[in-house]
Structure 1
Amino acid sequence: MRDAGPTRRAVLGAVAVATIGAAVAGCDDGGGSDQGRRKADDAARERAYAATGALLARYDAVAARHPQLAERIRPLGVELRQHLTAFAGGATHPAPPPGSAPEDPAAAAGTIADWAQQASDERLTGLPLLSPDLARRLAATAACLAGHAQLFRSTS
């Protein structure tokens, strides 16, 4: 029986639509100024950085509490660290607060899926207001996070 989560085709379709939307938005600045777009980019980059740091802390908390999930989580944490680098810019950022993890391993896997899907959805909001480069980066990381969600939904 198929899991209730989205199919790979649905995830890839959503990412394709988001990427095309970002590319189209990049062709027309919607009347916004360069300074306004830079401010929007900076704010979106900061949000993505903070959200990624918090998600990484949650992943680390689940891995620490459930060693049986740690092997599955480790490569995903590597990807999140790459996302942090992509959104860091030149600023220094405080460390995220420690995350927490459900006691039950199956619940923890489901919770990771929920966290990753929520983060993916958040990355896709407001793309038309951003520069094409940042919109593509956010869409790509959203696709990656949707993959994390699907991975944990299909194997939990």
Structure 2
Amino acid sequence: MERTGTTRRRALIGAGAAVTAALSGCSSDEPGARRDAPPSVSAETLLRRRSAALSSALLGRYDAVLAAHPGLAPRLAPLRAQVALHVEALSPTGDRPRPASSPSSSSSSAGAAASPSPSSSASPSAAVPADAGAAVRELASAERSTAAAHTAALTGAPPEYARLLASVAAAGAVHVYLLTKGSR
């Protein structure tokens, strides 16, 4: 009796050929593949850049509030200095800002030197309220949002960086407390 149709042997040969074709399609030996292509940016580097950008925007917000309400400097300068340190700590190693040239500079000027951009002031679209109390409440809201974003980023972070993000998020929560209830 003669068999018709697909046999087990033919099915296995066909499946093996399909797997071989699929795997060879992924090979870097193809003429279009480049072995000298630059390595892609790691997920951790992208996460570090996003986290540093969030803290940098917060630093810009502090600068805008301090420029609009210089009388708040005694209350906000220590928090601003910590946010500047957060920007530096969260930045990827190659993107970290240079330290200030003078080691005896004040904490506010050292914080400004730790900013990754030449001007860390807030954009004109981020207007500061004329009322100092409202400006501080908006700053507390920005701190809360930044801390929440750092907390949300924990799930995709490698363990060591996750610990840093958790510490920065906790510091942000303390800043919110100090801005809203702690320093009245």
TM (norm. structure 2) is 0.60
Indicate the residue corresponding to 1:72 in structure 2. 75
In the TM superposition, what whole-angstrom CA distance separates every residue of 1:93-132 from its partner, at most 9, and x where no partner exists?
A: 5446631421110101111110000000000113132110
Return the alpha-carbon distance in structure 2 between the equivalents of residues 94 and 138 of structure 1. Answer: 21
Q: Please list every run of 5 or more consecutive structure 1 residues that lacks an aligned counterpart in the other structure.
A: 1-34
Return the alpha-carbon distance in structure 2 between the equivalents of residues 49 and 118 of structure 1. Answer: 14
SS in 1 for 2:73: helix
1:134 deviates by 0.4
Deviates more, 1:105-114 or 1:79-88: 79-88
Indicate the residue corresponding to 1:136 in structure 2. 163
Higher-Rg structure is 2
Indicate the residue corresponding to 1:147 in structure 2. 174
Q: Name the count of aligned residue pairs.
A: 121
Q: Please list every run of 5 or more consecutive structure 2 residues that lacks an aligned counterpart in the other structure.
A: 1-38, 97-115
SS in 1 for 2:121: coil
Indicate the residue corresponding to 2:42 in structure 1. 39
Return the alpha-carbon distance in structure 1 between the equivalents of residues 68 and 85 of structure 2. Answer: 23
Are positions 1:119 and 2:146 aligned together?
yes
* RCO higher in structure (CA 8 A, sep ≥6): 1
Indicate the residue corresponding to 2:64 in structure 1. 61
The residue type equivalent to 1:91 in the other structure is D
Indicate the residue corresponding to 1:98 in structure 2. 121
Q: Is the 8 A contact 2:79 2:175 kept in 1?
A: yes
Return the alpha-carbon distance in structure 2 between the equivalents of residues 95 and 147 of structure 1. Answer: 28
Normalized per residue, the structure richer in helix is 1
Q: Percent identity?
A: 32
